[in-house]
Structures are given as structure tokens and as C-alpha cells.
Structure 1
Amino acid sequence: MAEAAGQSVEIVEVGPRDGYQGIGPFIPTATKIAFLERLAATGLWRIEIGSFVSATALPQLSDTAEVLGACAGIAGIRPQVLVPNEKYGRAALAAGSTFLAFVLSVSEAHNRSNVRRHLLESVEEYRRLIAALPDGIDVRLNLATSFDCPFDGRVAEADVLALLEELVPILPDAEICLCDTTGRASPDHVERLVAACHARFPQARRWALHAHDTYGLGLANVYAAWKQGIRVFDASFGGLGGCPFAPGATGNVATEDLAWMFRRMGVATGVDLDALVPVACDGAAIPGGLPGGRVRHALTASAR
């Protein structure tokens, strides 16, 4: 694809957070750290390593502080952590995090289910957290249910833009990630929303897409966002994932699928696909995991 030659994208590996959070059997902390070491060795430098949340709500991620501490010994990694409110944002900072991903939902129903807050409460908590940040902290703003809500159905584009009118001025430099929480987005919807966001908020310089592959449209939606200028994409090794607060949602688009598609398009990712596939195979085999994706099966077919 000649038009893509010389271009590049950034893949954010979210498997160690989104991929693990719905798994019941506790993954040993040492195993999580070993996977981070292997993922970083493939060229996946930016990795969401966990979230600071209630251990009762998500016991699988109760060791995030320990995992974060281990990242200091992993060459090349830039760990980010998910936080759902001001309290846990401050806890992440106290644990040494320098990259926060603050999540709230466009849908009121999902925001109450996911973070136990009225939407406007979450906006104010984000405002207070940003005001209290020390220097040197990177911030991403994750807008869950930007396209569809598991409770209310399709989310109006006007609702996304209205919420962003409140949020963007708080920190214009924040990276803003539009999240297809349920995997029900379609490429035309993605194109329209991304175009509308760019037109309405030219001061927001970094946009990202978080795609789930529940209905098999994950890669198509990534491509639609790429055509509209997005260059940061979340993905999960082995296609692991699924939101415990979005019934029926399966994993993110698989990292290996994303890396393969962009390689075929002539778009650089910095990811060594040959090194990634064995890690993805092992990730897909984690007990209790819900894997997805196609590329690892295709590339290992001859070995089988």
C-alpha cells in the first residue's frame, strides 16, 4: 500500500490490564512480570501493566503496585496504569506511576456500573486529579462506551462531543482514547466520530482508539480510525480481554493481528512479529483467559 509507506503507528499493549482483569484464577505476580519482560523484548515499549482499583472488585489486579515496581528493572518499558477516580489516581502516583490512564464512560449507566460514579462526579474527580499532578506525569483520558453501551445501546456522537467539551479544556495535552467497550462499533461510525472529534477539538493533539473484537470488526475499526488520522492503538496479546462491567464483550483486537496488518500496509510498528507470536500463544493459554485473534494461528499452522 504505497500511501502508507514511511508512516508509523504506536501500539499500546493493554493485555496485562484489560486481558487479565476478567480472568478468575489468580495469575502469579512473577508470571505477570515475566510476560512484561517478554512483551517489552518484542518492541512493545508502552504497556498498560494493571490498574489501581478496589481489590474486591478486581482481585486479579490487586498486585499492580508490585508489578509497577518491577518495571524499573525491565529495559525499554514505559508502564501506564488505569485509574477510575481521584482516590486511585493518587494511589498510583504514590506507588511511583508516571503515566495515568483515567477512565470514565460517556454512558451514565455504564459509568455507574464501572466506576460507581455519576458522570459529572467523574468529570470533577478528573479535574481535581489533574490539578494535583506533579510535573512529569503523562495522562491519557479513556472514554469508555464512546460508541455503544451494554445497557443503553448505541451512543450518540453528540454525547461524546458534549462530554469532551467538559474534559478537553482540563488538560488539552492529554491523550484522548475513544473506546469501543462492547465491540459493537462499525467502521463508518468510527470514521464519523473521529472526524467530528478532530474538527471540534483541534487543540487536542493526540488521539487513540481502543477496539474490541467481539463482533469481528476490531481490525476494520482500527483501519477506519487510521484513515482519519489516529496513530495510537490499543491491543492485547493473544486477543485477551473483556470488560467485567460490559456483559458479552470479548477481547481487544489481538496485538499480533494489528502488527501483521500494519506490516502488510507498509506502516511501521516497531514490533518484532516473529518474537511476539510465541508470547501471544502463551498468553492465549493462560488458564481462565478468553483469547481471540487469527494471526498467531495462521503463522503457526505449519508447525502444527
Structure 2
Amino acid sequence: MHVHHQSPGQSADSVTIIEVGPRDGFQSVGPYIPVETKLDVIGALHAAGVRRMEATSFVSQAALPQLADAEQVLAGVGALRGLDAQVLVPTVRHAERALAAGADHLSFVLSVSERHNYGNVRRGTLASVNDLMQIVALMPCGTRMRVNVATAFDCPHEGRVEAGAVLALVERLALVIHDAEFALCDTTGRANPAQVAALFQAARDRFPQIAGWAFHGHDTFGLGAANVWSAWQAGVRCFDAAVAGLGGCPYAPGATGNVATEDLVWMFEQAGIRTGIDLGRLAAVARDVVALPGAQTGGRVRDALAARACLPAGTVAA
């Protein structure tokens, strides 16, 4: 099965959910998760119908020891038929590692906020734009690129990010590569549905040459699914989510993870919008993920389904 990025001709009643638990979720877990366990989770997600996944990240092994096994994970997922496995790369050096390991779908990240970019990848935003330029020059024919624009709505250091700053950065990036998917990321989970709709509408109107748009949201204030729905109404058809809402940070009390994959599958399927993902099988994977030592999870649908399954026949709730 080939998953299409959003395009003008894409069906209005289908959506692509990109599972980021194996990267954004696992990186927040302190205790090391063995490669076999990571591949088991990825395999079970694939069996549930997930066809696009951020499988791992090629980053500093000292900074993120949880993802030091990126080469092994990427090699392991190669056997999963029809899986589009993208890998996150923050710099040229790590992109070279990913390409050498056989990656054919790179996911680059940089922040609108200069301060956040320094904290995240140890360089200024324009230096990251230059990195992207070098990576694009390295990419073999047939390699795909996704550009993640972090802090597109809010910065943990500087607060709300103005739409004009986001659009100015996207303009620079679109000169480097326009046939990539561009993801606007709610890094802190502080975005609201009105802000999400307005920014995507402005971006899609201003950059018709950009091949596709995606939204990466967090559920910090309980608005993850609402923000996704708002982006959907603004024409976005690709959404990041993590199984069991995996994410957060053990060193930041109150921080929560990505919007839960099972919550988005429930929301879209209830609205008659096809995800291609089996909710029952997905919920079973989510329950296994919740049991991982050190995992911080979220989401509502998993528990709601479990509670409904336990109701005795004939029970009527007020």
C-alpha cells in the first residue's frame, strides 16, 4: 500500500496518521528499551494498519542514548511490507549517517525560535537552513524529505510565536526545497484550534508550490485532538500522533506527550474519515506501550474502550 501525501486530488474522506511513538515517544523514556522490544512495537503497529511511521532518529548518542540503536532499528523495519519509515535528522552529519544506513525518507527539524533551535540542535535557525541546503544536495534520487518547523505556534522560552515569523521561515525553506512535506509543529502543546486553523490557512494560501502539509501536535492542555480537527478543516491531511500518547519528559513534571494515535483514529473514523488503522489492534499495542518501564502516556480512547468492554449487559449510564 502506498500512502500519498496530501494533494489537491486526495480524497476528502481519508487521512494519513504518521505514528511517531517509536521516535518522539521512545526518546522520552529513561530506561533503555531493547531493540527487540522497539521492533515488536513497530511490527504490531504495522499489523494494526499503520503505514507511515517515524521509526527512529539519527542524533547524538551522548545526548539521546535511547536512540543510539538507530541503525539497527532502521535495518529491522526494512522487512515490514509497505511501511514508509521516516527518520529524524537534525544536522548534515546525522543525515549522512542515516543515508549510509539506507534511509530513504528523511525528516529534518529546525525551530522558528532562535533560542529553542540553539537548545535543540546547538545552532541558530539560519545555520539550520544552511544544513538543510547541504542535506538536499546529498540526497540520492528517490529520497524524500519532510521539514519539521518546530515552535510554529509557541516557544517554551519566548511564549506565543507570531505567524509572520513562521511564514518568513517557511519562505526561506521553500527556496531550498518545495517538493517536501512541511509540518508545522505545536512543540509545547499550547496552540489552540483558532490559531492552528489561521496559520495553516495562511501557509497554504501563501505557498501553493509546497507539496503537502502536516500537523504535529501535543496534548498538554487537552486540545490535541481539537487542534488536529481544526487543521483537518483547514485542508491538512497528514497528522503526527504517538501510540498511547507516549511522550512527555520525566524531568518536566506536568509535561505531556503527543496526541494519542488511538484518539485520532477514533475521532476520524467516527466522522466517516478513513485512517486504514484497526482501532482494536491499535488499542492492544497501546496497552503494551503503557506497560513499558518509564513510559509517560496519555490519551482517552484506550481507557474508554476498556471500560466499555467491562460494562455488564443491559447497563444504562445516566
* TM-score, normalization by structure 1: 0.96
Counterpart of 1:87 (choices 90, 93, 109) is: 93
1:110-149 alignment, distance < 5 Å:
110-149=116-155
Question: 1:205: how far off?
Answer: 2.2
- Structure 1 residues 56 and 248 mapped into 2: Cα distance closer, same or farther (>3 Å)? farther
1:249 Cα deviation from its structure 2 partner: 3.6
Q: Distance in 2 between matches of 1:292 and 1:247?
A: 14
Mapped to 1, the partners of 2:256 and 2:229 lie a distance apart of 19
Alignment-mate amino acid for residue 152 of structure 2: S
* In 2: Cα distance, 1:203 partner to 1:173 partner: 8
3-state SS, counterpart of residue 203 of structure 2: helix
2:279 to 273, 276, 281: 273
Structure-2 separation of matches of 1:167 and 1:37: 34
Separation in 2, partners of 1:90, 1:277:
36
Cα distance per residue 1:14-43 (max 9 Å; x no partner):
000010101110001100001111000011
Distance 1:158 1:88 in 2: 30
Distance 2:147 2:254 in 1: 24
RMSD, aligned CA: 1.5
Do 2:197 and 2:231's aligned partners in 1 also have CA atoms closer than 8 Å? yes
Asked if 2 retains the 8 angstrom alpha-carbon contact of 1:103 and 1:143, the reply is yes
Structure 1 equivalent of residue 157 of structure 2: 151
Aligned to 1:300: 306
Superposed displacement of residue 90, structure 1? 1.0
Equivalent residue number for residue 314 of structure 2: none
Q: How does 1:203-242 map to 2 (within 5 A)?
A: 203-242=209-248
Which structure 1 residue ranges, 4+ long, deviate > 3 Å from structure 2?
243-249
Structure 1 counterpart of 2:82: 76
| 1:179 matches 2:185 | yes
Q: 1: CA distance between counterparts of 2:176 and 2:219?
A: 31
The 1-side partners of 2:147 and 2:159 are apart by 22
Which TM-score applies when normalising by structure 2? 0.92
Higher gyration radius (CA): 2
Separation in structure 1 between the aligned mates of residue 95 and residue 255 of structure 2, nearest angstrom = 26
The one-character-per-residue Cα deviations of 1:172-227 (angstroms, maximum 9, x if unpaired) are: 11000000000000000001100110111010120000000010000000000000
Indicate if the aligned counterparts of 1:15 and 1:48 stay in contact, CA closer than 8 A.
yes
C-alpha distance in structure 2 between counterparts of 1:47 and 1:89, whole Å: 18
Aligned to 1:264: 270
Q: Is the 8 A contact 1:51 1:61 kept in 2?
A: yes
Residue identity in the other structure for 1:296 = R
Could you tell me which runs of 5 or more consecutive residues in structure 1 were left unpaired when the two chains were aligned. Answer: none
